[in-house]
Structure 1
Amino acid sequence: MRFTKAASIAALAMLSTPAIADTIELGPRPYYLIDQMAEGPLKEKLEACIGLPLKKTDFSIGHRGAPLQFPEHTVESYKAAALMGAGIMECDVTFTKDKELVCRHAQNDLHTTTDILATDLASKCTKGFSPADGSTKASAECRASDLTLAEFKTLNGKMDAADRSAKTVEAYMDGTAGWRTDLYATTGTLMTHAKSIALFKDLGVKFTPELKSPSVDMPFDGFSQEDYAQKLIDEYKAAGIPASDVFPQSFNLDDVLYWIENEPEFGKQAVYLDGRRDLNPSDPSTFSPSMAELKAMGVNYIAPPLWVLVTLDEGEITASAYARAANEAGLNLITWTLERSGPLTTGGGWYFQTVKDAIDGDGKVYEVVDVLAQDAGVVGLFSDWPATTTFYASCMGLK
């Protein structure tokens, strides 16, 4: 298995699932990013790895699959991520009207991630399409909980986007960012959580399901938050998946603590997604609960956005106080999300906000990845295009 400049993702449809599990093909993007780098030891190291054998790696986590170019949370997106060597795959988990678990980034995103507005099921949406009018932006809200599982499965996945200036449904649905593509969006096969488990098992990857916050009030028709958290775990147990292969995630610390208490084998690898808005990553005194307190609760994995883990020191990118505090407390760090910002010529936006003054182009991607891995001690990195992280991990000998 070797890295070549020739892209082979187009071969995806011709490969069976077992063939993908045994194949790694990265395409041209890692090479392109290396070519954009400033001269120096890191670039020389990465260049020296071009053409060397590749390996599947747990450092490379497929964020919703490979949504830089494929509709997220679809069979096609997941297969693409596996082909690029992602060792762990994410299914964001929510539920339908009949309380069946499905893979969607949010319970209320069907209007931007599927073709529901162009189908008869649009009439079942919480809020139908409303066109832009003057200063009022176009809007809609369609929830998985608006549909039964049978209805959900009739939808087609599309790139996550909407044109808020649209006057028509067709224009609203046609909002894909210029740096993404609709080339592979003609087919987007939606997934139940159980089907994702079966697919990931066949692809030979590990699992990191995220329990999404419901848009509906809980309990929902008698379905409590605890029922929801338990059902996620039960579907892995029913499929015979060992707990050591599963990294359940939630932004809700109570979900993580529920797993730690009630499903300890799964709970030991539960990931607390740290989205605290009042936290200053340069000041550990703002961390409440603190890293040590989280560890004492039984939390072993914590996952903030990548900007929380990096900072600038005299213009150089380095690990933040948050990263160092997590390491000192013995917490494993995972972070999100690489390649979700588009071209980095204007500083990288939200994901790179703490180092924006040093981000002047795509050549900085691997500098940030290197700091995350070598300085911050990150053990896993979510990416919208796992080829980038797979190449780095293979080159550096990461697991």
Structure 2
Amino acid sequence: MLSRMNPLHAALSILSVSLGLGALGESRAATLVGYAELPADTFAEGPASGAYSGAGLRGEARFKSQPVQGFSGVQLDKAGGYLFLSDNGFGAKANSADYLLRLYRMNLTPKTAGGGAGSAQVGAFIQLRDPERKVPWLIVNEASPERLLTGGDFDVEGFVTAPDGTLWVGDEFGPFLLHFSADGRLLEAPISTPNLAGLPTLGGRAPIVIGHRGSSGTRPEHTLEAYRVAIEAGADFIEPDLVVTKDGVLVARHEPVIAVLDKDGKVLEATADVATRPEFKERLKTKKIDGQDVTGYWVEDFTLAELKTLRAVERLPALRGRAFDGRFEIPTLAEVIALVRETEARTGRKVGIYPETKHPTYMTQVVGINTSQLLIDTLVKEKFTDPARVFIQSFETANLKELSASIMPKAGVKLPLAQLISGPKEAPYDWVAAGDKRTYSDLVSDAGLKELASYAGGVGATKRLIIDEQGATTDFVARAHAAGLLVHAWTFRNEPTYLLPGYGGDPEAEMRQALRAGVDGLFTDFPATGAKVVGSATTPEVRSPQHPAFAQGASSAAANLGGSGGYEGLTLSPDGQTLYALLEKTVTGDPAGRLRLHALNLATRAWTLVGHYALDAGGEAIGDITPVNAQELLVIERDAAQGAAAKVKRIYRVSLTRRAADGTLAKTLVADLMDVKDPQGLAPSTRAGVFTFPFVTIENVVVLDANTILVANDNNYPATGGRGDVKDNTEFLWLRLDAPLSLAAGVGR
């Protein structure tokens, strides 16, 4: 039975997989040795169809019965001939509710150099159905006894016949695997696709989203409103930077100076409206902070009561506007904790806080307060000391060491600490104040990370340590993880001014790259964006927007696969034990143009991720897969064009064990379907001995023998454009390969 599965292996050593992704410079033009057509307007018995519009509205049926085409999968029929799987119908879920999903038995008679009709005869069909109600959601024919399955229920693509005679079908809407009896009866509930790629975080834990100063990209930073919006957006932690008032209360401000003025009295930067308050005019002072003279208004010169009369303003008004200026107070740490508790009581979400002790050397030497001690005292007083809900961070080292060695032990608490790391030429100010000439570059050396791990559990690293100025991923995360340190990267912002050119203005692309690098958390001014990216990368299932969960109330924003991007390719290993299922589109978080190849052990039902198939430049999707031997598959790759615009219509031999330099499965070109030799003129479209196959979708391939494969298109009935302004027929090609395949025993006829 397995021998009827499509196995492939093009032994083209010139295009060795060890060289990478296929040497297109030396085109492999297979030879057309047989040709047949099935007219587009071919119908089988069944109810009228084609009554639904693209919006899902029902009108008058266009067809009196069931169109046979298009075809999205082929296998050799054990009774002789071929089995072809009909596609989901008329191109979309909404317009295919009256298209019945079937497998058609067909006899093909090729036109060859020796003659032949070049015809395709449609025989009996197997109707896919769910009479035992295995599908747990509503289907189109929900109330009928046989519950015939339609293109409004599933987008079926590849299929195989297992050694026990049952049928396995790949679906794109879920994506799901569907298990049917030999006569088309669904045997079990659709099998979901697990999200197996994972992220290389420390210990495999899901990354956290940290609302940097709250949702500071949408509200004035360090306000209860900014924190509230961050929590509602999905932040796991909110970050209050902490400074201290004249009467010893910790409040959330990015700096102890809340308005900076130049020598002429012009406000250069402000987070509060203090410079507009004449009653505080005399509080303007110049102080030295971290070695720099700064003129402005300082939190430590105001009591809490005085600060509460002020209102927050946007720190970056030229970028983010002033719509919320003057509306929010400066909050205390206690008030931030109260907000977190109120949210938990209302929603059940346990959100954490990630406080930073700002300028501890300045606070101790100039202000006279140990803010690290005050922070622990406040957390203890507020009974907020769960180590799963607090990180304490600082750009200096001495205060973190003091917290680790004495302050926290004396208070009976143990909270994780994070050493903040800035640019390599900068240095912790406690080192500068002590005359230490080292910089942050010393902290991020292997030796520095090892020493850092003696007092902290994590690193709050500038993102340029992880993704350099050229957009390349560095080895920093791997080195930090090797030292046992979490890596929380800062700061991710949506505005294009903060993005490298290579991202094309897409902040999600930057975040996804950081997640692929293995970061354990993202500091972001836009936690809604961070939560979306992390959620897509960590959802337990791969889901397309057509997944039934999204029709039942779940937000389709949680989809992590492009529309109908599921199992375009499905095949079976030559030994009959393993299903191989290849997605058509890229899962969110994976590099663009990389498609996941899954394996399912039929005996144990264990899933594994075999690797990623890399599309060529210009490649948009795959069309089908079939085995060659235990180590290799054939893959159809195509672009999204047809007719004269079509360029990429190719068949590759893909290794399941060998990988290119970038880690993707190595592949070798077997046949260029836009350059097929036809010296006998077998196909009516052949010109000057060259046949091209410019259909938008080519979704069928099966191995006949070591030298010959059969390929056919999906005509997306009733589509036109492959051969001009006419309905596309289904064309069947018998191709003799330039080099024979190394077939496993039993593969082919």
**TM-score in same-fold range (> 0.5):** yes
Q: State whether residues 89 and 206 of structure 1, in contact with CA within 8 Å, keep that contact through their aligned partners in structure 2.
A: yes
Distance (whole Å) between structure 1 residues aligned to residue 539 and residue 399 of structure 2: 30
Amino acid at match of 2:390: V
1:185 CA drift (Å): 2.6
Structure 1 residue 319 and structure 2 residue 459: aligned?
Answer: no
Match of 1:339 in 2: 493
Q: State whether residues 268 and 300 of structure 1, in contact with CA within 8 Å, keep that contact through their aligned partners in structure 2.
A: no
Structure 1 residue 397 and structure 2 residue 538: aligned?
Answer: yes
Q: Deviations over 1:12-36 (max 9, x none)?
A: xxxxxxxxxxxxxxxxxxxxxxxxx
Q: Deviations over 1:243-264 (max 9, x none)?
A: 3111011111111111211215
Match of 2:237 in 1: 88
Distance (whole Å) between structure 1 residues aligned to residue 324 and residue 210 of structure 2: 21
Moved more, 211-220 or 248-257: 211-220
1:110 CA drift (Å): 3.7
Distance (whole Å) between structure 2 residues aligned to residue 328 and residue 391 of structure 1: 28
Amino acid at match of 1:77: A
Trace 1:54-93 onto structure 2 (pairs within 5 A).
59-93=208-242
Match of 2:381 in 1: 238
1:279 CA drift (Å): 7.3
Q: Deviations over 1:350-394 (max 9, x none)?
A: xx5xxx4534x322x22221121122x111111111100011111
Structure 1 residue 212 and structure 2 residue 358: aligned?
Answer: yes
Q: Structure 1-normalised TM-score?
A: 0.68
1:398 CA drift (Å): 6.6
Structure 1 residue 270 and structure 2 residue 427: aligned?
Answer: no
Distance (whole Å) between structure 2 residues aligned to residue 254 and residue 284 of structure 1: 15
Match of 2:337 in 1: 197
Q: Structure 2-normalised TM-score?
A: 0.37
Q: Deviations over 1:29-48 (max 9, x none)?
A: xxxxxxxxxxxxxxxxxxx9
Q: State whether residues 417 and 455 of structure 2, in contact with CA within 8 Å, keep that contact through their aligned partners in structure 1.
A: no
Structure 2, gaps ≥5 residues long: 1-174, 176-205, 261-269, 288-293, 345-350, 428-438, 541-749
Count of matched residue positions in the alignment of Structure 1 and Structure 2 = 299
Distance (whole Å) between structure 2 residues aligned to residue 211 and residue 221 of structure 1: 13
1:275 CA drift (Å): 2.2
Q: State whether residues 465 and 476 of structure 2, in contact with CA within 8 Å, keep that contact through their aligned partners in structure 1.
A: yes
Match of 1:384 in 2: 525
Structure 1 residue 372 and structure 2 residue 514: aligned?
Answer: yes
Q: Which has the higher helix share?
A: 1
Q: State whether residues 209 and 530 of structure 2, in contact with CA within 8 Å, keep that contact through their aligned partners in structure 1.
A: yes
Match of 2:621 in 1: none
Q: State whether residues 250 and 271 of structure 1, in contact with CA within 8 Å, keep that contact through their aligned partners in structure 2.
A: yes
Moved more, 237-246 or 268-277: 268-277
Q: Secondary structure at the match of 2:310?
A: coil
Amino acid at match of 1:343: P
Match of 2:459 in 1: 302
Q: Secondary structure at the match of 2:405?
A: helix
Distance (whole Å) between structure 2 residues aligned to residue 105 and residue 398 of structure 1: 33
Amino acid at match of 1:379: D
Amino acid at match of 1:73: H
Distance (whole Å) between structure 2 residues aligned to residue 63 and residue 274 of structure 1: 16
Match of 1:287 in 2: 445
Q: State whether residues 248 and 266 of structure 1, in contact with CA within 8 Å, keep that contact through their aligned partners in structure 2.
A: no
Q: Which has the higher strand share?
A: 2
Distance (whole Å) between structure 2 residues aligned to residue 307 and residue 156 of structure 1: 34
Match of 2:297 in 1: 142
Amino acid at match of 1:118: T
Q: Secondary structure at the match of 1:311?
A: coil
Distance (whole Å) between structure 1 residues aligned to residue 386 and residue 234 of structure 2: 22
Distance (whole Å) between structure 1 residues aligned to residue 325 and residue 392 of structure 2: 28
Change (3 A) 1:217 1:268: closer
1:288 CA drift (Å): 8.1
Structure 1 residue 256 and structure 2 residue 400: aligned?
Answer: yes
Q: State whether residues 107 and 215 of structure 1, in contact with CA within 8 Å, keep that contact through their aligned partners in structure 2.
A: no
1:68 CA drift (Å): 1.3
Amino acid at match of 2:216: P
Change (3 A) 1:110 1:127: same
1:323 CA drift (Å): 2.2
Instruction: Tell me which structure has the larger Cα radius of gyration.
Output: 2
Aligned identity (percent) is 26
Distance (whole Å) between structure 2 residues aligned to residue 127 and residue 358 of structure 1: 42
Distance (whole Å) between structure 1 residues aligned to residue 360 and residue 484 of structure 2: 31
Q: Deviations over 1:158-195 (max 9, x none)?
A: 1014xxxxxxxxxxxxxx11x31222334122101111
Structure 1 residue 122 and structure 2 residue 277: aligned?
Answer: no
Match of 1:113 in 2: 271
Change (3 A) 1:203 1:58: farther
Q: State whether residues 268 and 298 of structure 1, in contact with CA within 8 Å, keep that contact through their aligned partners in structure 2.
A: no
Q: Secondary structure at the match of 2:254?
A: coil
Q: State whether residues 284 and 322 of structure 1, in contact with CA within 8 Å, keep that contact through their aligned partners in structure 2.
A: no
Distance (whole Å) between structure 2 residues aligned to residue 199 and residue 261 of structure 1: 30
Q: Deviations over 1:307-338 (max 9, x none)?
A: 111137xx7x4431322211221110001111
Change (3 A) 1:159 1:61: same
Structure 1, gaps ≥5 residues long: 1-47, 49-56, 129-138, 162-175
Amino acid at match of 1:249: Q
Q: Secondary structure at the match of 1:255?
A: helix
Distance (whole Å) between structure 2 residues aligned to residue 194 and residue 122 of structure 1: 29
Q: Secondary structure at the match of 2:242?
A: strand
Q: Secondary structure at the match of 2:520?
A: strand
Amino acid at match of 1:154: T
Distance (whole Å) between structure 2 residues aligned to residue 203 and residue 211 of structure 1: 24
Q: Secondary structure at the match of 1:151?
A: helix
Amino acid at match of 1:196: V
Q: Secondary structure at the match of 2:251?
A: strand
Q: State whether residues 338 and 383 of structure 1, in contact with CA within 8 Å, keep that contact through their aligned partners in structure 2.
A: yes
Distance (whole Å) between structure 1 residues aligned to residue 522 and residue 413 of structure 2: 20
Change (3 A) 1:156 1:268: closer
Q: Deviations over 1:137-164 (max 9, x none)?
A: xx95111012111111110001014xxx
Trace 1:178-189 onto structure 2 (pairs within 5 A).
179-189=319-329
Give me the CA root mean square deviation. Answer: 3.1
Distance (whole Å) between structure 1 residues aligned to residue 361 and residue 373 of structure 2: 18
Q: State whether residues 283 and 301 of structure 2, in contact with CA within 8 Å, keep that contact through their aligned partners in structure 1.
A: yes
Out of 224, 229, 235, the residue aligned to residue 372 of structure 2 is 229
